Amino acid sequence: MKKIILILVLILLGACKNISETKETAIAPPPEISVEDFFKNSEQRSFRISPDGTHLAYLAPYNKRMNIHVRAIDSEEVVRITSVEDRDIAGYFWANNDKLVYIKDDGGNENFHLFSVNKKGDDEVDLTPFDGVRAQIVDDLENNENEMIIELNNRIPQVFDPYRININTGKMELIYENPGNITGWQTDHDGKLRIAYVTNGVDNSILYRETEKDDFKEVITTNFKQTLTIQFFDFDNGNVVYALSNLGRDKLAVVKYDLKENKEIEEIYINQDVDVDEVSYSDKRKVLTSINYNDTKQKRKFLDEETEQLFSRLEKELGDTNEYYITSSNKNEDKFLVYVGNDTSRGAYYFYDKESKELKKIADLSPWINPDHMASMKPISYTSRDGLTIHGYLSLPIGREAKNLPVVINPHGGPWARDFWGYNPEVQLLANRGYAVLQMNFRGSTGYGKAFWEKSFKQWGQSMQNDVTDGVHWLIDQGIADPDRIAIYGGSYGGYATLAGITNTPDLYAAAVDYVGVSNLFTFMETIPPYWEPYKEMLYEMVGDPNSNDSIMMKANSPVFQVNKITAALFVAQGANDPRVAKDESDQMVNALEKRGVPIQYMLKENEGHGFRNEENRFDFYNAMTEFLDTNMKEKVDEIKT
C-alpha cells in the first residue's frame, strides 16, 4: 500500500569555528534579483507519472493559478485538465490510468474538497461538496481503480469518520463510525481498515483488528511523549508492522512490531544523533529499500542493492552535492520521476527508465534563477546558555566580507518542526539584498530526539526564545553581525518568536516582521480548529493550561501584554481566513500598539489563510517586507548603494 501525501541537511561547523575566517570578497555581489523572480510560480512542478507509465501530469500556471496539465511521455502535446482561478490546487495524484484526484480549499480556510477529473479534462466531480467540512485521504487504494478511502468531519466537526468513496460518482459508504476519540486510521496492503489511533488528549492508544469483520482491540497505550508510529504492514499482511519507535530510547528507530503480541521483535536501524524520518519499500518487489534521516542534510541507510545502485548513479551523473528524491513511479516500478535539488537551486525533475537506463531532465522549476547568484546554506552549531547544542544554518550574502553584516534572524514555525538544508526563496531574497540569515533549530525542534523535544514544554517565550537570542549573540561574538542592524522575521510560531523577541529583548532588534504569528497564548488556545480539540489536553501540557497556575506564565509570555516594551519597528502580515492562527491574533497586536500611538505596518489579505499562497499576494508581502527592512536598517541600504 502506497500512501499519498497531498498537502505538503556538508560538514557540521562547531560552535568555536570562526565563520568570518571564510570570506567571499573575491566574488562580486550578484545583481539585485526581483521579488517576482524569487516567488513567482514555477513553469512546471509536482510531476506525477500514471500507473501504466504512459503519461505525465504536473502543475503549471493558468491565469496565475497552478492547475493540472497532462501529456503522454512520448509526446509534447499538453492538455490542461483543470481551470481553477481563485486559488492554486493544493495537491493531486493519479487515481488510475484515466482519472486524477485533486484537493483545493476556499481562500485558505483548509476545508479541503476532493475533486476527480479524467486526463482529457472531462467529467470533473466535486466528490465532497460539503460546506465547512475537511476531507482527508486515508488510502488511495492503488489496486482499486474506482475507489479510495477518505475521512470527513461532516458528522461532528471535531471527529473524522472513514468512508469508501467512488471517484467517478462521489457515492460514499461509511466504513466505521468514529465513537469520538479516534484521531487516525490506517489500512493494510489490501486497503483493509485495520488500525485506529485513539487519544484522550494526553495518552495515545493503537487499536488493531485482524480483519474488518473483527472488533478493534487495544494494542498499546503510551503517553504522547512516547512514539510508536506505524509505517506499513509486513508484506504478508499479518500481525507484524514496520514502525518508528522511541519506546525505551531517545531517538526514533525503525523497528518491526507484532501487534497481536504487543511487542517489538526487531530493531532494524537507529541513528544515535538524530531521529529516523521514514522507511521506504518496493511494493512490487516486497522489500525494504531505504531509511531516511536528517542531520545537517538528507541521508539514507540503504537496505536494498538495487535502490542503492540507482542513487549512486544519480550522484555520479548529477553531483554528490545535490539531494535526490524519487517522487513518483509507475505500478511496474520500471519508470521513475526523480527530484534533484540543493541549496542554490529550486531544483529539477528527471525521468528515469529502468529498462533502457535513460536518465532525462524534464523540467527546471525556476530556470530564470542563476545558482551562481544564490547564497550557500552552511550548517552551524552553537551552545545555548544552559549547555544545549543548537544546530542551524547560516546563509551569507555573496561578495561581502562576513563581518559586521546586517542580519535577519529567522526562527521556524511549528514550533515542533525543524529547518532543513535546501533552497529557500525567503532566505535567498534576503541574502540577495545583502543580509546574512540565521535559522536555528531551537529546543523543541523535531528530529533531535525525545529529550530535546520535551525541553520545549511550557517554554514558549522562555528557554525556547533564549535559544534564539543565544544565536544572535553567537553571531555578534563571531563578528558576523552588526549589533545595530539585526532584524527578526518568522511565520506562525516563528511569528510568535518574532514578537517575543522584540518584547523579551527589545534592545536586540532594530526591526521585526511577524507573519501569521501568535500574540496571545490564551486566545490562541481558544481558537484552534475544531479537529484539534482531541489534542487540547496535550497542548495544555506542551504550551500551558490557561485554567491553571500556568495562566500567570502564559500572560507573562504573551507578547500582546508586553507591547510597552517594544522599541523595534514592526510589520505584521495576516490572512483573514487563517484557521490555525486566527486573524484576531494579529488584530490584537496591531490595536494594542495603535492605542499607545506606536506606528505599525499591517498587511491583511482577505483571500488568504495560514500563509499566502496566491502569487500576487506573495509579491505584495515580500516587496513590502524588503522595503520595510531596508527602511528600518537604513545604514544597510546606504552601505550597499556605495
Q: Which triple of cell numbers denotes residue 379?
A: 550548517
Give pLDDT, residue 530: 87
| Residue 233, beta-bridge partner list | 241
Identify whether the C-beta of residue 634 lies closer than 8 Å to the C-beta of residue 484: no
Read off the pLDDT of each residue in 428-435 and give the average, rounded to a whole number: 97
Per-state percent for the chain, helix, strand, coil, to nearest 5: 20, 35, 45
Identify whether the C-beta of residue 243 lies closer than 8 Å to the C-beta of residue 229: yes
Which letter, b or e, does each residue of 419-451 get, where b requires 16 or more Cβ atoms within 10 Å of its Cβ? bbbbbbbbbbbbbbbbbbbbbbbbbbbbbbbbe
Peptide bond between residue 29 and the one before it cis (omega within 30 degrees of 0): no
Laid out side by side, the sheet with 377-383 consists of 377-383, 389-395, 436-441, 405-409, 481-491, 511-515, 569-575, 601-605
Give pLDDT, residue 528: 85
β-bridge pairing 298-302 and 287-294: antiparallel
pLDDT one-digit tens code per residue, 223-272: 999 999 999 999 999 999 999 999 999 999 999 999 999 999 999 999 99
Give pLDDT, residue 201: 87
Q: Which triple of cell numbers denotes residue 413?
A: 514555525
Which letter, b or e, does each residue of 534-565 get, where b requires 16 or more Cβ atoms within 10 Å of its Cβ? bbebbbbbbbbbbeeebeebbbebbbbbbbee
pLDDT one-digit tens code per residue, 14-34: 333 333 333 344 588 999 999
| Residue 408, beta-bridge partner list | 437, 487
Q: Which triple of cell numbers denotes residue 164?
A: 469508501
Q: Give the dihedral sign, CA 383/384/390/396.
A: negative
Q: How confident is the model at residue 515 (pLDDT cuts 50, 70, 90)?
A: very high
Give pLDDT, residue 292: 97
- Say what angle helices 615-632 and 425-432 make with each other, to 10 degrees: 40
Q: How open is the CA angle 40-42-43, to the nearest 5 degrees?
A: 120
Residue 215 above 50 pLDDT? Answer: yes
Identify whether the C-beta of residue 379 lies closer than 8 Å to the C-beta of residue 370: no
Identify whether the C-beta of residue 94 lies closer than 8 Å to the C-beta of residue 51: yes
pLDDT one-digit tens code per residue, 393-413: 999 999 999 999 999 999 999
Q: How confident is the model at residue 5 (pLDDT cuts 50, 70, 90)?
A: very low
Continuous segment of H or E residues that includes residue 541: helix 536-542
Which letter, b or e, does each residue of 226-238 get, where b requires 16 or more Cβ atoms within 10 Å of its Cβ? bbbebbbbbbeee
Identify whether the C-beta of residue 177 lies closer than 8 Å to the C-beta of residue 154: no
Distance CA 525, CA 582 (A): 10
Q: Which amino acid is at 412?
A: H
β-bridge pairing 159-166 and 287-294: unpaired
Q: Which triple of cell numbers denotes residue 538?
A: 496535550
Total length of the chain: 642
The percentage of the chain sitting over the pLDDT mark of 70, rounded to a whole number, equals 95
Residue 151 above 50 pLDDT? Answer: yes
Residue 56 above 80 pLDDT? Answer: yes
Identify whether the C-beta of residue 47 lies closer than 8 Å to the C-beta of residue 57: yes
Q: Which triple of cell numbers denotes residue 603?
A: 498587511
The percentage of the chain sitting over the pLDDT mark of 90, rounded to a whole number, equals 90
Which letter, b or e, does each residue of 136-164 get, where b requires 16 or more Cβ atoms within 10 Å of its Cβ? bbbbbbbebeebbbbbbbbeeeebbbbbb
Q: How confident is the model at residue 463 (pLDDT cuts 50, 70, 90)?
A: very high
Secondary structure in 3-state letters for 461-500: CCHHHHHHHHHHHHHHHCCCEEEEEEEEEEECHHHHHHHH
Secondary structure in 3-state letters for 162-214: EEEEECCCCCEEECCCCCCCEEEEEECCCCCEEEEEEECCCEEEEEECCCCCC
Q: How confident is the model at residue 642 (pLDDT cuts 50, 70, 90)?
A: very low
Maximum alpha-carbon separation in the chain: 76
pLDDT one-digit tens code per residue, 309-368: 999 999 999 998 999 999 999 999 999 999 999 999 999 999 999 999 999 999 999 999
Domain coordinates of the chain in residue numbers? 376-530+562-641
Give pLDDT, residue 26: 56
Residue with the three cell numbers 567571499: 24
Cβ atoms < 10 Å from Cβ of 36 = 14
Read off the pLDDT of each residue in 414-426 and give the average, rounded to a whole number: 97
Residues 6+ apart with CB under 8 A from 356: none
Distance CA 282, CA 292 (A): 15
Residue 370 above 50 pLDDT? Answer: yes
Q: Which triple of cell numbers denotes residue 558?
A: 504573551
Read off the pLDDT of each residue in 550-558 and give the average, rounded to a whole number: 97
Residue 633 CB-half CA count within 13 A? 29
Q: How confident is the model at residue 636 (pLDDT cuts 50, 70, 90)?
A: very low
Q: How confident is the model at residue 533 (pLDDT cuts 50, 70, 90)?
A: confident
Read off the pLDDT of each residue in 151-174 and give the average, rounded to a whole number: 94
Q: Which amino acid is at 307?
A: T
Give pLDDT, residue 189: 96
Give 29's DSSP letter. Answer: P
Read off the pLDDT of each residue in 52-79 and give the average, rounded to a whole number: 95
Distance CA 325, CA 581 (A): 32
Give pLDDT, residue 313: 94
Residue 635 above 60 pLDDT? Answer: no
- Supply the mean pLDDT for the chain: 92
CATH for the stretch 376-530+562-641: 3.40.50.1820
Identify whether the C-beta of residue 552 lies closer than 8 Å to the C-beta of residue 83: no
| Residue 125, beta-bridge partner list | 116
Read off the pLDDT of each residue in 617-636 and give the average, rounded to a whole number: 90
Q: How confident is the model at residue 4 (pLDDT cuts 50, 70, 90)?
A: very low
Give the residue among 140, 149, 62, 44 at the shortest CA–CA distance from 99: 140
DSSP one-letter string for 74-85: T---EEE-----
Identify whether the C-beta of residue 399 lies closer than 8 Å to the C-beta of residue 30: yes
Distance CA 410, CA 517 (A): 13
Identify whether the C-beta of residue 409 lies closer than 8 Å to the C-beta of residue 486: yes
Q: Which long-range contacts (CB under 8 A, 24 or more apart) does 116-124 make?
A: 116/167, 116/168, 117/68, 117/81, 117/82, 118/81, 119/50, 119/55, 119/57, 119/70, 119/79, 119/81, 120/79, 120/81, 121/79, 121/80, 121/81, 121/82, 123/168, 124/82
Identify whether the C-beta of residue 198 lies closer than 8 Å to the C-beta of residue 204: yes
Give pLDDT, residue 120: 94
Residue 107 CB-half CA count within 13 A? 11
Give pLDDT, residue 634: 66
Cβ atoms < 10 Å from Cβ of 88 = 17
